[in-house]
Amino acid sequence: MKKLNHQVDKYLIDGCMRCKYGGTPQCKVNNWREELEILRQIILECGLTEDLKWGVPCYTINNKNIAIVSAFKHYACLTFFKGALLTDTHKILLQQGNNSQSSRILKFTDTQQILEKEHIIRDYILEAVNIELSGAKIEFKKNPEPIPEELFQ
């Protein structure tokens, strides 16, 4: 297992510190600390390197981003940067928003959900690593702003 990063230890205590609730009992990290710690352990056991980027734990291989874990108001999540390339054989990955082309997330609202899916989570992490090591790229669709009709005249 890879070495723990002390910046991530601090995140799990204080939160991301990007909002006024950082370091207070109201910080959303406090609601999901146990879930985040379990996800952290699973990811590190898969051999990824732990860092802190954008204020949240980020996991890499050869300095390439694979996934992040983060706390939201109603859930903790594991986000795969190139999640759209994962096969998602268990149909559990979610698109973050209508315009999200690359990342996919797994949402968790309790530790039991994580423990029940631990082997699936590991498989998805290892697949994400293999995708990154293969050099596969996301082909982003271009969605240009609509051109007003009067400009065509």
Question: What does the mean pLDDT of the chain come to?
Answer: 91
The domain at 6-135 falls in which architecture? Alpha-Beta Complex (3.90)
Q: How far apart are CA 52 and CA 65, in angstroms?
A: 11
pLDDT tier for residue 150 given thresholds of 50, 70 and 90: confident
- Neighbouring residues of 61: CB distance < 8 A, sequence distance ≥ 6: 47, 48, 49, 129, 132, 133
Residue range 73-128, pLDDT digits in tens:
999 999 999 999 999 999 999 998 777 889 999 999 999 999 999 999 999 999 99
pLDDT tier for residue 145 given thresholds of 50, 70 and 90: low
- Neighbouring residues of 79: CB distance < 8 A, sequence distance ≥ 6: 67, 68, 69, 70, 96, 103, 104, 105
Q: What angle do CA 103, 107, 75 make, to 5 degrees?
A: 120
**What pLDDT is recorded for position 26?**
86
